Amino acid sequence: MNTITIVPIRAFQDNYIWCVRTGAVAVVVDPGDAEPVLEYLSSEKLQLAAILTTHHHGDHVGGNTRLLAKYNVPVFGPAREKIPGITRALKEGDTIEVPGVGLTLGVLDVPGHTAGHIAYYGEGVLFCGDTLFSCGCGRLFEGTAAQMHSSLAKFAALPGDTLVYCAHEYTLSNLRFARAADPDNPALDRREASARAALAAGHPSLPSTIALELAANPFMRGGDPAVAASASRRAGRALSGSVDVFTTLRQWKDSF
């Protein structure tokens, strides 16, 4: 039986298009650019079996049309967003059998970055698009802070050893903000050391894990007294709960 592996295909400045492969079959997640995907499939002699998308931004779906011109494959994506070539519209509670690779994934609605953003979770892996980043989270382009806070809470409830496949290489830049928001957290030193070692070796700093994010990501640590106190100092007032803390952190990060 073939083993599933998940490898990054680099695109643009800092995007990762995740390729789930087994044997001679591959599935790609959020192919914003077709060219590196086509090059990878050709060099590895792989046949594309499906496209998974998390949200509608061009750097996540821009390659769909060109890939579909070469491969007649299903396209999975959020029901509440317009996705090029979509054949299966998904919402929270849906489950998919990812064609060709033997992977079963459930769907979570995780609005905040966009209004209809979804994530795929199952068998110990999470494809979270631009909702969760290592030591950070997505900007609020269409959703609200309360929505993003709720979305991150769904991730926080997953098993700690869940592998988190974010769509951008933002770890080191996010760590700079995390140190401002949570300066006495020793987990940040460990995360930075592991990220720098991976990047120096030519590898992504990803995947992360849910446990790592709960330890080091200030956006998932709003209930921690140190993070809440830091956010309160930034706001210049007492904050009234975890959503208020999150809102302050996100606004702080936007101008950091």
Number of domains composing the chain: 2
Comparing CA positions, the residue from 200, 195, 149 lying closest to residue 169 is 195
The answer to the question of residue 152 being in a domain is yes
Residues 117 and 184 in one domain: yes
Catalytic, 244? Answer: no
Is beta strand 75-78 parallel, antiparallel or unpaired with respect to 47-52?
parallel
The answer to the question of residue 101 being in a domain is no
Catalytic, 55? Answer: yes
Residues 148 and 239 in one domain: yes
* Domain boundaries, position 4: 1-89
Residues 62 and 132 in one domain: no
Catalytic, 203? Answer: no
The answer to the question of residue 244 being in a domain is yes
The answer to the question of residue 105 being in a domain is no
Residues 83 and 176 in one domain: no
The answer to the question of residue 199 being in a domain is yes
Name residue 36's amino acid: P
Residues 84 and 114 in one domain: no
- Surface-to-core class of residue 53, CB atoms within 10 Å of its CB (0-12 exposed, 13-18 middle, 19+ buried): buried
Q: Determine which one of 130, 149, 182, 244 is catalytic.
A: 130
Under the banding of pLDDT at 50, 70 and 90, the label for residue 2 is: low
Residues 129 and 55 in one domain: no
CATH code, domain with 25: 3.60.15.10
Catalytic, 30? Answer: no
Comparing CA positions, the residue from 141, 251, 157, 147 lying closest to residue 210 is 157
The answer to the question of residue 7 being in a domain is yes
Percent of the chain with pLDDT over 90: 98
Question: In the predicted model, is pLDDT for residue 1 greater than 50?
Answer: no
- Extract the tokens encoding 163: 């592998």
DSSP 137-203: E---SSS-HHHHHHHHHHHHTS-TT-EEEESB--HHHHHHHHHHHSTT-THHHHHHHHHHHHHHTT-
Task: Report the C-alpha gap between 223 and 128 in whole angstroms.
Answer: 22
Residue 103: what are its φ and ψ, rounded to 5°? -120, 130
The answer to the question of residue 217 being in a domain is yes
Provide the mean pLDDT of the chain: 97
CA count, 13 A, side-chain hemisphere, 80 = 14
Q: Determine which one of 30, 33, 60, 109 is catalytic.
A: 60
Q: pTM of this prediction?
A: 0.96
The answer to the question of residue 18 being in a domain is yes
